[in-house]
Structure 1
Amino acid sequence: MTVQNPLLAFCGRHKSWLVPGLLLAMSLLVYLTGLQYPKSMFWDENYHVVSAQKHVDGMMYMEPHPPLGKMLQGLSEAFFNPNEDVDLSSLLKTDYLKGSDMPKGMEFWAYRLPSALMMALSVWFLYQILFRIIRYRPVAFVFSLFVIFDNAMVLHSRAVMLEGIQFFFILLSIWYFVRTVTSDKPITVKHYLILGLSVGLEVATKVNGLVSILLLGMLLLEDKGKQLLDKQFLPVVERTVLGSLAFFGGLAAVFLLVFYVHIGMGTHVEPTKKYKASPEYLTSLKNNGGFSFTTFRLGFKDNLRYMSEYADGVPRLDICKETENGSYYAKWPFGGKGINYRWSKNNVDGVTKVSYSYLVGNPLIWLTVVLGILVSISLILGRFIFDLPIKDERLFMYILYFTGMYLSYMIAIAQIDRVMYLYHYFVPLLFGIINAALLFAYIFKEPLQQGSRLTWVNLGVLGVLVVAMFAYFSPFTFGIPITESQFELRNWFSLWDIEVVR
């Protein structure tokens, strides 16, 4: 008779919440620790802090992005109010707060909290997505580490940026899709509506969330794919029409509601910052208030016009410009071009060290995603061109879905003329992380079923290496001072195009 260790027995009974709980604990620790640093703004924080504060003070403003992200950042600032004794009135008279104009003693952690917290919490959705599809907790656990220990995602999301907020909504949408198609309950029009609502939250944060409209097509395939193959076209057409109406109705409802609240809150107008608002909008705002339907109709039209004109005015990528931080989209999967968000140089005992906030990804994660996409494309081409057999139809379909989402985003980006940056790759990177996990489960299906020790050891080694690589590049992420030689040891690829500060 064997005596089981009580701790192991407890973990075995409660692994359904212990595993994601451990992921959440690690994620919260990485994303929230030291959120008050740096004490100054960098990159788009100079814009978003100003916009968030305008929500706090009820000031009318327009911006190139939809307002949901800034509304949440402003809500956090208003709730915690760490700048209660600081005069922030200067933020209401500009769209870009220069460091030299920053109010003395100003704190940024409350503005940063929504992005960091929502990014940290999103790992729960990623884990549930992978586990529901793959059904192996260790595989779901290891690949969930990818969003906790990617240096670029951590640096960017721990700031007053929009990506961490949007990631939460993207993974929420994918989780709801996976949960719907993996449950035993029939898919109804209600599921299309709820999926549309969640995608609406993505789009109300950043418009590149429109890529998740592909989830509608995926849900239709899961719902009516068999009837389509059986040439039962009438129910397919009926569900397509009703499902699409529900989906886009939900998406539009969220988008319009967010703008309604945004416009309704902006009751004060700074005389020097009217954003070319129409006289009709300004008059209605003054006479009818922000929440009147007339004010909303006019304000919504002006906001969309402003977003369009701003996008048209963004310059094109100029790789010949010495200070160009943008990069060609084909370089993104390999980590190029890194962006030096901010740096500070100090000389201690005759040794010069620099603290960086450098947008550099975890190379193991990014290269794993690239390899996974290439192998997935080969797998898909082999199936549809050469009619090669597939070992798991369900896993193959999910690989097809997420490879398709990755490629669709990259193809769409390739059509855009304006300058784009490395963090615009974060959305397809997320799709690629999910795809890499699915591909691992597909390739090693038999060893996983047989409990191959070598497979589990290799999986564990991958997880350890991901964390170790994150730690190695953490000076770029957390501003840990390093010397010039230590910088060069981390400058692995010329494609990254990163430069030491001398």
Structure 2
Amino acid sequence: MREFVIKHLHKVYIGLLLVCSLSVYTVGIGHPNALFWDENYHIASAQKYIDSVMYMEPHPPLGKLLMAGSEAALGLNSDKDKSKFSETDYLRDNHLPEGGIDYFAFRLPSALLMVLAVLFFYGIVRRVSNNSHLAFAFSFLLIFDNALVIHARSAMLEGIQLFFILGAIYQCVRVITSHFQKDRTIRLPDYALLGVWIGLAISVKVNGAVLLLLFVMLYGADQWQAIRGLRIATLLKRLLSTVPAGVLPLIAVFLSIFYLHIGLGGEMPTHKDYDASPEYREQINNGQSWSPATFWTGLQDNSRYMSKYADGVPRLDVCKDGENGSYALGWPLGTKTINYRWSKQTTDGTTYVRYHNLVANPAVWFSVLAGIILSSGLIISRYVYQQPVKNNALFYWILAFTVLYFSYMLAILQIERVMYLYHYLVPLVFGCLNLALIFQYLFYEEFEKGSRHTYANLAGFVALVTGVFFVFAPFTYSWELTEAQFAMRNWFEFWKLELVR
């Protein structure tokens, strides 16, 4: 039995990760049996595809298309009157049919894709580190982070997008590691497939554009010798083929998804026209939503609407009562939490509250911040003080994920509109990848020797992450808390957790 497990350890790890992530992300996703946060928008948008009603929204359409496909395929609400969903952009209780709806199908794409995203994470760390144990251990950071879990178990976009983001990173890592470890030539189809993954990520939320840096990394690996030799002519010649090979599939994916979005909008909505141009309205009314002319007109109208919507979003106002937004500089510490919804009951004089609250797992978030600080110090020591590195390949991967992290955060800091804690989930995942590699770098010699003490420390860290997750699980799964139990979990004042009395 032991020999079988050792021989098939990689498959055993994948199986265990699947079981754990399916349990955490998918069990009971129908609860809470109520709308919260952006579900009010996204479920209304998804239903419009089912009802063939045109709409426009600030985010690209892929996430809502997947929600609509899941709802239509499973048909869990086929006996419910959801006609009012297409008559509003923001669902309220009075729009719901009597008895409510089943939320399972709307939330399923996010939950399932996040489960698969964990496997991509495992594959990325395993390929870079050549250590299945390390990859297995750090994959639990994605499974047992409370903020990731609450968003992935909802009809929101983060779980869906993280699948495509980690898929893109895995594609980039797979090609580069095969190139250097197995002397495999990097080909134009490799750039094209990377472009497809990036296009899918951007088609969920435009912040996925940070992944364009993966093209730079892939090109750098592809032309490493030419870069070192400053062979400018060779570099430019290769750019003439790699840029269109990667960018054209990206554009094709993005436009194809918008074609579906526009084509499925076969009827004008009754509650608003989204400032659609007269040409667009006429084409829809004439039943031409799938025509190329309508696609071009609709694409321009959607672009204008997205830009106009972004300009109309208010700025952060920390003095405003009930402000849920927060400064990006505070996100690595988990500030500020958001109480998505709550309900309470009083039994025998004791008040029990079910919170559905966006809160970080501090064992994950603080460790990620420590990893970013350590990797930044490593990079500075290498390029400023010319210190040697233990492993060049590992160092460059640490550099890559640190650059991704800071590039995203710097871009966010340029945005003037109000932003929220969950906008940190993308760089958090970059930071988790970086943390795994910086851990290997710090204990490189010990890993090479197979030190049991090092693996015991790693197991202890995973146990800590898991334990802290369950401490805050009542906020994630809406379990009842008394006031005293809430106070036990109110660890940091800067989280601004709000007690419901």
User: Which structure 2 residues correspond to residues 405-484 of structure 1 after superposition, within 5 A?
Assistant: 405-484=404-483
Amino acid at match of 1:490: R
State whether structure 2 residue 200 is matched by structure 1 residue 206.
no
Normalising by structure 1, we get a TM-score of 0.98
2:68 partner amino acid: G
Hey, what does 2:108 align to over in structure 1?
Answer: 113
Which runs of 5 or more residues in structure 2 are unaligned? Answer: none
Matched, 1:376 2:375: yes
Of the three residues 167, 171, 174, the one matched with 1:172 is 167
State the partner residue of 1:3.
none
Measured after TM superposition, the shift of residue 288 of structure 1 is 5.3
Question: Deviation at 1:497?
Answer: 1.1
Residues 406 and 428, structure 1, Cα contact 8 Å, conserved in 2: yes
Letter in 1 for 2:313: V
Letter in 2 for 1:25: V
Q: Is the aligned partner of 1:9 residue 2:8?
A: no
Amino acid in the other structure paired with 1:275:
Y
User: Post-superposition shift, 1:290?
Assistant: 1.2
Counterparts of residues 13-412 of structure 1 (less than 5 Å): 13-105=7-99, 106-183=101-178, 184=182, 185-287=184-286, 289-412=288-411
CA contact (8 A) 2:85 2:95 kept: no
Separation (CA, whole Å) in 2 of partners of 1:440 and 1:447: 11
Which stretches of structure 1, 4 residues or longer, exceed 6 Å deviation after superposition?
none
Deviations 1:137-161 (A, max 9, x none): 1110111001100001101110110
SS of the equivalent of 1:255 reads: helix
The Cα RMSD (Å) is 0.9
Distance between the aligned counterparts of 2:345 and 2:297, measured in 1?
A: 52
Cα shift at 1:23? 0.4
2:78 alignment partner AA: E
Secondary structure at the aligned position of 1:473 is classed as helix
Distance (whole Å) between structure 1 residues aligned to residue 397 and residue 203 of structure 2? 27
Deviation at 1:228, TM superposition (A): 1.0
Deviation of 1:100 (Å): 3.5
Shift of 1:236: 1.2
Using the alignment, how far apart are the partners of 1:355 and 1:489 within structure 2? Answer: 15
Contact 1:356 1:476 in 2 (8 A): yes
CA deviation after TM superposition for structure 1 residue 99, in Å: 2.3
- 2:274 maps to a residue whose letter is Y
- Secondary structure, in 3 states, of the residue corresponding to 2:335? coil
CA distance in structure 2 between the aligned counterparts of 1:265 and 1:102, rounded to whole angstroms: 23
SS at match of 2:388: coil
Check conservation: 1:484, 1:500, Cα contact below 8 A: yes
1:241 Cα deviation (Å)? 2.8
The aligned amino acid for 1:182 is T
Describe the SS at the equivalent of 2:212.
Answer: helix
How far did residue 208 of structure 1 move? 0.2
Equivalent-residue separation in structure 2 for 1:272 and 1:38 (angstroms): 28
Unaligned 5+ residue runs, structure 1?
Answer: 1-5
User: In 1, Cα distance between the equivalents of 2:93 and 2:463?
Assistant: 39
Counterpart of 2:152 in structure 1: which amino acid?
S
* Structure 2 residue matching 1:498: 3-state secondary structure: coil
Residue 494 of structure 1 corresponds to 493
Which deviates the most, 229-238 or 305-314? 229-238
Which amino acid letter does the alignment assign opposite residue 376 of structure 1? S
Deviation string, structure 1 residues 47-86 (Cα, Å, up to 9, x no partner): 0000000011111110110000000000000000111111
SS in 1 for 2:480: coil
Q: Per the alignment, in what secondary structure is the counterpart of residue 346 of structure 1?
A: strand
- CA–CA distance in structure 2, aligned partners of residues 58 and 52 of structure 1: 10
How many residues are paired up?
Answer: 496
